[in-house]
Amino acid sequence: MGPPPTPSEAVTANPDERQVDTLLLTLDLRVPAGLEGPLGAHADASVDPAHVVAVALEVDGQPWGRFAVAPQAASAPPVAGWRLLPEPRSLLLVAHLTDDVALVESPPDDVRAWLSVLDRTLAAGDHVARVAEVILEDAGGRRVALSFSHWLPFHVARGDASAHVGALTLTAHGLDAAEVIP
Amino acid sequence: MNRALFFALVLLGLVACEPTTLVFENQVPGVTIENMRWTTSNQTYQSPDRLLPGQASAEIDVGLDDEGRRGRVTFEVDLNGRRVALEAEAPLKVPAEGQTRFVLTPDTPVRHPLLQEAPMALWAAPE
């Protein structure tokens, strides 16, 4: 058994004070014209959000868990395995800060580990988010991972339970030659 | 002499009738523990107390039928308004007579009943 709590640790926060545990983000993956390969032969286009299967999000430089995306209806015939849309079409991502999938795969096994799960909230103030990785699945079931480095600042107001990170447009360079996930 | 023998017998009787009790204690810094329960095959004993770090609950009287039994310890951990219901990994045995103290520390092995028994229920989206 560890040492008893010190007086400075024996303080609990007001349970009525809400803290952000959900982030909202819209994501648009653009494919510019002129790229080498079959996709670049087309005009500017958006990757059909139906291809997105998972997104890894970082907040303030820390991984915020990978969250899956609900399946969406396909809306265009595939070109070289990818469905491209002439108009931007955003994907709404709802990122709960507690990663349920990770909890199921590897449940915490002591109280301390559970506290680290409970403590994953955002305090009021300024933060920055990054979509670190987007995993796409083409029409043939092949999965590829795209990495990005765009930071998106956002603000959390006191008393909020969720925060809108913003609308993010990412350019899917190298979609043809992206790393294939085995 | 008879009076001394009488008091000795009374004292012996009092010791012999020492109640069996259970106490929960929170030694986890920064969190509140609530809804502490000890559940045997007979019944559930619950503490109404809300324990801040360093606090212990009032004594809970344990019935004769449950003396010496093992039972599950469950509780809720509240951290800044976010909470989780957990169960101690090891069942707790409450011996007959005297006080048994369950001390919750950061290192106490625990599990989440839902994750253990029905993990697929938490899969919200296909992966």
* pLDDT digits 0-9 by tens, B75-120: 999 887 777 889 999 999 999 989 999 999 999 999 887 765 433 3
pLDDT of A9 reads 39
For residue A166, the number of C-alpha atoms closer than 13 Å in the C-beta half-sphere is 15
d(CA A123, CA A132): 22
Q: Is A79 helix (H, G, I), strand (E, B) or coil?
A: strand
Q: Which B-chain residues 57-116 have CB contacts (< 8 A) with chain A?
A: 77-84, 86, 89, 103-112, 115-116
ipTM associated with this complex: 0.78
Taking an 8 Å cut-off on Cβ atoms, the answer to whether A17 and B111 are in contact is no
The secondary structure of residue B5, as a DSSP letter, is H
Which residues of A touch chain B, with CB atoms under 8 Å apart? 1-2, 4-6, 9-19, 21, 53-54, 67-71, 100-101, 103-104, 107-112, 114-115, 117-119, 121
Amino acid at the residue A107:
P
Taking an 8 Å cut-off on Cβ atoms, the answer to whether A53 and B108 are in contact is no
CA distances from B40 to B37, B103, B113 (A): 10, 18, 16
Residue from A111, A117, A143 to probe the interface with B (highest B Cβ count within 10 Å)? A111
Provide the whole-model pTM.
0.58
pLDDT of B67 reads 94
Distance of CA A47 to the CA centre of its chain: 16
* pLDDT digits 0-9 by tens, B34-61: 999 999 999 999 999 999 999 999 999 9
Where are the extended beta strands (E) located within B1-127?
A: 20-26, 32-39, 44-46, 60-61, 70-79, 82-88, 92-93, 98-104, 110-111
pLDDT of A170 reads 84
Candidates A5, A14, A15; nearest CB to B54: A5
pLDDT of B87 reads 92
Chain A residue with minimum CA distance to B110: A110
Taking an 8 Å cut-off on Cβ atoms, the answer to whether B30 and A115 are in contact is yes
pLDDT of A6 reads 46
Q: Does B40 touch chain A (CB under 8 A)?
A: no
Pairing of strands A125-137, B60-61: unpaired
Taking an 8 Å cut-off on Cβ atoms, the answer to whether A17 and B81 are in contact is yes
* pLDDT digits 0-9 by tens, B3-21: 777 676 665 555 556 889 9
Taking an 8 Å cut-off on Cβ atoms, the answer to whether A10 and B115 are in contact is no
Query: Which residues in chain A show pLDDT less than 50?
Result: 5-15
Amino acid at the residue B86:
L
Instruction: Number of helices (H) and strands (E) in chain B: give both, helices first.
Output: 2, 9
Asked if A33 and A40 touch (Cβ cutoff 8 Å), the reply is yes
Taking an 8 Å cut-off on Cβ atoms, the answer to whether A4 and B32 are in contact is no
Candidates B54, B110, B122; nearest CB to A104: B122
CA–CA min distance A36, chain B (Å): 31
**Token duo for residue A77:** 């015939």
Taking an 8 Å cut-off on Cβ atoms, the answer to whether B107 and A1 are in contact is yes
Nearest in space to A114 (alpha carbons), one of B113, B15, B44: B113
Question: Counting beta carbons within 10 angstroms of the beta carbon of residue B87, is it exposed (0 to 12), middle (13 to 18) or buried (19 or more)?
Answer: middle
d(CA A1, CA A91): 48
